[in-house]
Amino acid sequence: MKIQLFLEIIIIFILLLSPILAKSTENSIVLGGFLWTSIIFQLILAVFFFFRGRNFSKKESFSLKKLFFVFVLLLLLFLNMFLWNYIQNKVGLGFTGTILKNNLNPFFLWLNIILGTFTAAYYEESFYRYYVPNFFLFIISKVKKSKIINIAVELIIVCLFALAHFHLGWIGIIHSFFAGLLLRYYVKVFNCLSVTVFVHTIFNLIQYSLLMAKL
């Protein structure tokens, strides 16, 4: 059991640090540029993290209150995005590359975008908002119960999620930090990952649509 947990921690840190340490040679974002192999791989990982994460958290439940806060969560995410976009336009520090459109058939382009944004959202929510924080909080609870340590763990994971978006510039990192806080808070309070996956997917799709409209 200890060996399994040790190996699990190593895998977690590899997945947490790899997007931060990876150096991209491309200075562009391609809309509809999700690799199909990447979509399948992320989906497999997301399903694994979801079911593994259930070992360290309560079973999901639905209520009208949770559904109401879906709209509140979406509103806060967009306010967060518009705020930092406004600041970016004033001071810079955002993404300085180019945004390109994939020359796919419109049907396959949007199929790629929809599936890509869903699997990316499902992976990030399952990993950063569900499995990883609950896994470490579970381990810490077996050693020492401390609110300060728990808060520190939560903030470190949100910071690592934000840093994984370094390719979007410093404004992108700050925006991702606050978005990560909002999404994790919802999962923590309402224990409803499916809602944050849905909200995250819709949020990303609307962002893609706005970018597509500019091209």
From the list 190, 186, 135, the residue with the least C-alpha distance to 157 is 135
The pTM score is 0.88
Quick one: pLDDT at residue 155?
96
Contact 119, 200 (CB under 8 A): no
- The residue with greater pLDDT, 6 or 160, is 160
- The residue with greater pLDDT, 153 or 146, is 153
By residue count, the chain amounts to 215
The residue extents of the domains of the chain are: 2-12+26-214
Alpha-carbon 23 to chain mean position: 19
In whole angstroms, give the CA distance from residue 18 to residue 11.
10
- HSE-CB at 210 with a 13 A cutoff on CA atoms is 10
From the list 31, 41, 19, the residue with the least C-alpha distance to 108 is 31
Would the pLDDT of 31 be above 80? no
- The residue with greater pLDDT, 153 or 68, is 153
Quick one: pLDDT at residue 93?
58
Q: Tell the burial category of 49 from Cβ atoms under 10 Å away from its Cβ (0-12, 13-18, 19+).
A: buried
Contact 180, 160 (CB under 8 A): no
Summary mean pLDDT of the chain: 85
Residue with tokens 């259930």: 54
Task: Provide mean pLDDT across the span 13-32.
Answer: 73
- Specify the 3-state DSSP secondary structure of 61: coil
